Structure 1
Amino acid sequence: MLIPWQELPPETLDNLIESFVLREGTDYGEHERSLKDKVADVKRQLQNGEAVLIWSELHETVNIMPRSQFRDSPD
């Protein structure tokens, strides 16, 4: 289920994004980026529609994924 990120309190959204960034463990190449920068990047992707916030009823978890990978179907 798609979660409208705009309806979340800012602190909750920041916490969800931070948790996502920390669990992804993405390698950013030669230059390490700060947590603050990574969170800002994901927030920007949500704001411009490149990424979406998803609730999985099956797993009772929230995830962030590229809009192109989201399919609106039951878990």
Structure 2
Amino acid sequence: MIIPWQQIDPETLYNLIESFVLREGTDYGEQEKTLAQKVDDVKRQLERGEAVVVWSELHENINIMPRSQFNAQSQTPSKEQ
């Protein structure tokens, strides 16, 4: 389920994005970005609708993922059917 990022307390949203950035381990090429820059990048992706905050009832956790990945997972038939 998508959680509208605008409805998340700003401090909580920052902590969520920071946690996501710290565990993602993305290579940024020759020029490494600071943690603050990475957090800003993810926030901009949320603002543009390129990324979404997702709550998983099955795993009882919250995550950030590309909207395209969420859409692809949502269209995959469940194995329980």
- TM-score of the superposition, structure 2-length normalised? 0.85
Residue number in structure 2 paired with 1:59: 59
Aligned length: 74
Give RMSD over aligned pairs.
Answer: 1.4
Structure 1 CA distance for aligned equivalents of residues 57 and 13 of structure 2: 19
Q: Which has the higher contact order (CA 8 A, sep 6+)?
A: 1
- TM-score of the superposition, structure 1-length normalised? 0.92
| CA displacement, residues 2-26 of structure 1 (integer Å, 9 cap, x when unaligned) | 1010001100000000000000011
Unmatched 5+ stretches in structure 2: none
Report the Cα offset of residue 41 of structure 1.
0.2
Q: Please say if 1:17 is aligned against 2:17.
A: yes
In terms of Rg, which structure is larger?
2
Q: Which has the higher helix share?
A: 2
